[in-house]
Amino acid sequence: RNTRQQRAMAKGSKYGKSLLEAEWQQAEVSALYRLHAAQVRVPTPFHYSDNVLLMELITDAEQRPAPRLWDVKLSPDEAREIHQHLVRECVRMLCAGMVHGDLSEYNILMSKDGPVIIDLPQATDAAHNRNSERLFLRDVKNLKNYLGRFAPSLKKTQYGREIWDLYESGELEPESTLTGRAKRRTRRADTASVIAEIQAAAAEASDKPLSAYQLKKQRKLEAARVEHERSQQAALERAR
C-alpha cells in the first residue's frame, strides 16, 4: 500500500473506499482458505480471481440452501451436541491462529452434515490483535447463551476461559480435553512492591523544584500555622 492509497483510505474518498472494500474482501478470502486448511468446517473455497470467489453452496438434506442456526428449533440434546461441535471448531480456529470475531447463531448454517461457519470479514489473527482474547471469549459466550435457551445447563459452562488459558500457556491442541470449567485466576497482592513504588514516587516528587503556585500555597500554609501557634500561646498566657 503506497502513500497515495493510504491518504485516499484515510479521507474516505471513492477511490479510498474501493481500496478498503478490496482489502476487506482479500482478508475474508485469506481467512476462509486458512481455516479450511485447518479443517474448520467452513464453505469449501474452489477458486479466487479478480475479487471473485467461487465456493461451496451449503445445502440441507433436501438440497435447499441451508438455514441459519437461528432458524432451527432444537431439542436439549441437539443443542448440547451442536454446542460441543462448535466449541471444538473454535478450538481448531484458535489452533490455526485465528479468532472469528463475530460468531453467533446468525452466521452458522445448518447443513445436512452439521454446522458450517460463515461470514469471516471480522476474523483476526489471535497473536497480533490485542483484542483477540475479548473477541474469542465473546464468540464462545454467544454460542452458550443462544444454545443455552434450549439446554439451560450450557449457560454455566466456561469453555471460553478454559480454552484461552490453554492457548496462552501453549498447551492448546485441536483435540485437547475440555471440561467446561476454568481455574479461577488468583494472585496474591504484592503490598511490599506497591509501598516501595509509592515511596519512590514521593521521593522523586520531593526532589523536584516547586512551582510558583506551590511555593505561594506553601507560604500561606506556613503563615497560617505560625498564626495558629501564636493564638494558642496568647490563650495560654491569658489563662495564667
77 given a catalytic annotation: no
Integer Cα distance of 64 and 106 in angstroms: 18
Nearest to 41 by CA among 101, 82, 102: 82
119 given a catalytic annotation: yes
* Structural contact between residues 83 and 141, judged by C-beta atoms closer than 8 angstroms: no
Catalytic residue among 60, 77, 119, 207: 119
- The four Cα atoms 48, 52, 57, 58 give a dihedral, to 10 degrees, of 80
Catalytic residue among 50, 77, 102, 207: 102
**Strand 52-55, strand 98-99: pairing:** unpaired
Integer Cα distance of 157 and 88 in angstroms: 14
Grid cell in block for residue 102: 463475530
Which H helix or E strand runs over 108?
strand 108-111
| 111 SS3 class | strand
DSSP structural state of residue 48: E
Integer Cα distance of 160 and 100 in angstroms: 13
Residue numbers annotated as active site: 102, 119
